[in-house]
Structure 1
Amino acid sequence: MMDHSKYLESLFSFVDQSPTSFHVASNAATRLEAAGFTRLYEADSWRHLNSGKFFVIRHDGGLIAFTLEGDRETPRPFRMAGSHTDSPSLRVRPQPMQLHQGCLQLGVEVYGGALLAPWFDRNLSLAGRVGWLDEQGELHSTLLDCKRALATLPSLAIHLDREANNGRALNKQTDLVPLLGLSAESSPPDFTQWLKEELKKQKTEISVAEVLDFDLFLYEPQPLTQIGLEGELITGSRLDNQLSCHALLQGLINAEVPGNAMIVLNDHEEVGSATPSGAQGPFLSTVLERLYPDPDVRQQVIARSFFISADNAHAVHPNFAGKHEPDHMPKLNQGPVLKTNANQRYATTGVTASLFRSLCKKAEVPCQQFVMRNDMACGSTIGPLTASQIGVATVDVGVPQLAMHSIRETVGHLDGWYLMRVMQTFFEAEDAAVCLPEL
């Protein structure tokens, strides 16, 4: 197995190079190709697919990678695991440039359930996807990462708002307008023209005639940082849920896979998953239909398979321990967390939890438990969506973290490594070890 120092190096590189879901899928593809996986395209035929290692990307932000062994007429179980590539953020509006009081500003929308206060007074950069035409009128799509600090959201001075420390509400329309610079002009500049020049600087091999549109997000360019008296903590952006994506990806790549295994990296979990590349969409079901065209064989495969949904969990906050169910308080660096909910906001059952616990024991990894308080609403994951979409037995787990959905989150330096070890153990398990026992 990958040792801890190599794991941290790999994680830091992956997250720092992935400011958006598009970059997550692209960087995952690069690692998969380096490990001998072959890219498939949905527009091509998969009819004559043989044993091997493959991956497919949908709409730039969703990715499924899998290994196949043997013929596709034999219903062998799939070791399946899923996570999501997106994180809460501020998305740039289609016509974003604004000019107020000599200040050039950028119009944004809130993407997902972001914790907004930590976005203020940070250095912010831009990244995402740009659609453009070349000199011959051909349409292209290119990833963009400005990497350097371009904007900030300045706080209002406490002298002008004496109630600032007493829980003042933020107005998403008027308060969340980042500052880009200063201008003496009477009207704001053309954002697409600026994008055109930025693309030409970053991608010198392309010839951009016109930028047509974009999917761009603000992000903090500060890299992941290891902190603490003994370096026992990691702080950084997008740990929910790129840490899980990385654990699944490296677990699959590192595994000496004896059979069929699959990772599903869905986009748009933070906004409901109801998209073609989201868990509520048809991405996974269509891949399975193409791998197993015979409906009877496909249902046998699903019935024998197991799905691990990996999405970060709430570690107990030392200043707010009362927000947790007293007997279920996950701690940092104490291992992955099993997540359960009586109302099926998580897909975990006693049987699926038992299987995951057995994998943790085999991997020599500790395991924790999370249940939401009865007087608080429970979040959800791609687990229940996937389970209900295809009918696969599912468990919801996650690495414990603090400050979920903040621009800068905190995890223990061991927990992602623990999760990766469990995932590798899962992918290497014999067929019988991933089949649920029946009454």
Structure 2
Amino acid sequence: MSEPPRFDRGHTDDLMSFLAASPSPYHAVANAAERLEKAGFRQVSETDAWDGTSGGKYVLRGGAIVAWYVPEDAAPHTPFRIVGAHTDSPNLRVKPLPDTGAHGWRQVAVEIYGGPLLNSWLDRDLGLAGRVTLRDGSTRLVNVDRPLLRVPQLAIHLDRSVSAEGLKLDKQRHLQPVWGLGGDVRDGDLIAFVEETAGLAAGEVTGWDLMVHSVEPPAYLGRDKELLAGPRMDNLLSVHAGTAALAAVSATGGGLPYIPVLAAFDHEENGSQSDTGADGPLLGSVLERSVFARGGSYEDRARAFAGTVCLSSDTGHAVHPNYAERHDPTHHPRVNGGPILKVNVNNRYATDGSGRAVWAAACERADVPFQSFVSNNSMPCGTTIGPITAARHGIKTVDIGVAILSMHSARELCGVDDPWLLANALVAFLEG
């Protein structure tokens, strides 16, 4: 059967490449920076003095990136248009003493990061990726992107109750992956393996931020290939769309009424309270320094922030065909129906009526349909970096995203058209 026409399969193909190449937040920001470099952006150091020149610039800090484009005619009080997202996803992360095992099995001690769907990590081929810190204080990205680890599920013959009572996992005992055999578990085995794999000298690694990831690549799914299955869509889908949108807007040169910004933070999945999280000072510091570098005063900073709008872009919930009763009965976002506007009157999302108007105007300009999402009143609502950004910086913020299934699974599901539709809406928003 021939494939039906798509809006832009090339964007979705590039998203798949981005997801596969970004098994950790550190890889995600490096890949975003590489794309921005090709669009003419340059990295600036937080420890250097900044100049007020126009053009594209970005700051990297750990698993976070803030990038912005200053048009030639920008004034010190020119407001910002910000696309906010996060780079982290729930997973299993390596503990400080990683080497463990029992009964002839070599295992890796892991800690649960965020709120993953634990069962989705069982019986899955897993690689190892992240960042290591060397004796000289420098860092190196590492990615063992092959079947290395596995969390084996207990056979049904040894737990007959699982069929009637459901799977019950103890987070401490049941999720430690195996990665080999041997009765003598030696401290330092895993890090020595990482050093050897990365071409580093023995004992050179003194710190690590390592995590497991599924090595199964993203793939088109379904009869007509209208679905996309892959890892870390929450929320690298938004990071990719925001990066593409910022690069596209920067190519237009001057004449922009706003300064377009991409702010992709780490640690959203566990509260955003870090120096690279949305509840930290990174975004505010970058925006203020941009104002002051262009000769602005505190008054200019206040004027710029007062006119600034942020779109907090994060994945949301599409209506699930097997659990429709878990959704609000009148709000059923569907995949490939366009990005979603998230609303919660208790401020779990930052959207209000005026913010909705900003989003609606951007979608209308881009000729992009959008849907509305609210939670079922009988269930607690999740949250995003949106309310944090609004409260910390006094910036009008609107929560939007793409509707997916299997959120927080090791492998999530979306429609192939929605990422492209989101990117186009973001371009229209950043252009003003």
State the TM bucket, normalised to the shorter chain: over 0.9
The separation in 2 between residues aligned to 1:284 and 1:209, in whole angstroms, is: 36
Q: Which amino acid aligns with 2:189?
A: D
Aligned to 1:123: 125
User: How far apart, CA to CA, are the structure 2 residues paired with 1:139 and 1:277?
Assistant: 18
- Distance in 2 between the 1:333 and 1:53 partners? 32
TM (norm. structure 2) is 0.94
**Partner of 2:363 in structure 1?**
360
| Preserved CA contact (<8 Å) 1:347 1:383 | yes
Partner of 2:67: 65
**Residue 350 in structure 1 maps to residue 348 in structure 2:** no
How many residues are aligned here? 417
Query: Mapping of 1:33-72 within 5 angstroms?
Result: 33-46=37-50, 48-58=51-61, 60-70=62-72
Conserved? CA contact 1:345–1:381, under 8 Å = yes
Deviations 1:221-274 (A, max 9, x none): 111110111110000110100000000100111122533110100110001000
Give the aligned residue type for 1:217. M
> Is the CA contact (8 Å cut-off) linking 1:192 and 1:213 kept in structure 2?
no
Alpha-carbon distance in 2 for matches of 1:328, 1:72: 41
Structure 2 residue aligned with 1:93 = 95
The answer on 1:19 being equivalent to 2:23 is yes
- Quote the RMSD (CA, aligned, Å): 1.5
Q: CA deviation at 1:170?
A: 1.0
Unaligned 5+ runs, structure 1: 201-205, 430-439
Structure 1: which 4+ aligned runs deviate by more than 3 Å?
A: 70-74, 186-189, 206-209
2:212 to 214, 218, 243: 218
Structure 1 residue 369 and structure 2 residue 363: aligned?
Answer: no
Q: Which residue of 2 aligns with 1:432?
A: none
Give the distance between the partners of 2:202 and 2:192, measured in 1 at CA.
Answer: 10
Contact map agreement 1:72 1:291 (CA 8 A) in 2: no
Q: Give, in whole Å, the separation in 2 of the partners of 1:82 and 1:264.
A: 5
The one-letter code of the counterpart of 1:139 is G
Note if contact 2:220-2:227 (Cα within 8 Å) is conserved in structure 1. Answer: yes
Q: CA deviation at 1:139?
A: 3.1
Shift of 1:422: 0.5
Q: Distance in 2 between matches of 1:358 and 1:243?
A: 22
Is the 1:401–1:410 Cα contact (8 Å) retained in structure 2? yes
- Give the Å deviation of 1:140: 2.3
Contact 2:55 2:72 in 1 (8 A): no
SS at match of 1:264: strand
Q: Is the contact between residue 220 and residue 407 of structure 1 (CA under 8 Å) also seen in structure 2?
A: yes
Aligned position for 2:3: none
State the SS of the aligned residue for 1:114: coil
Q: Name the counterpart of 1:415.
A: 418
Deviation at 1:13, TM superposition (A): 1.1
Distance in 2 separating the partners of 1:78 and 1:289: 11
Cα displacement (A) at 1:207: 5.1
C-alpha displacement of 1:191 = 2.5
Query: Which secondary structure does the structure 2 equivalent of 1:174 belong to?
Result: coil
Match of 1:234 in 2: 228
* 1:18-417 to 2 correspondences below 5 Å: 18-46=22-50, 48-58=51-61, 60-70=62-72, 73-133=75-135, 138-165=136-163, 166-185=165-184, 187=186, 190-200=189-199, 209-255=203-249, 256=252, 258-259=255-256, 260-293=259-292, 294-417=297-420
Deviates most, 85-94 or 190-199: 190-199
How far has the Cα of 1:131 moved from its partner?
1.3
Answer whether contact 2:97 2:187 (CA < 8 A) is retained. Answer: no
Deviations 1:285-330 (A, max 9, x none): 1111211232110111111121100000100000000000001110
Indicate the percent of aligned positions where both proteins have the same amino acid. 41
Q: CA deviation at 1:208?
A: 5.8
Report the CA distance between 1:184 and its aligned residue.
Answer: 3.8
| Distance in 2 of aligned mates of 1:154 and 1:344 | 40
Q: Which 5+ residue runs of structure 2 have no aligned equivalent?
A: 1-5
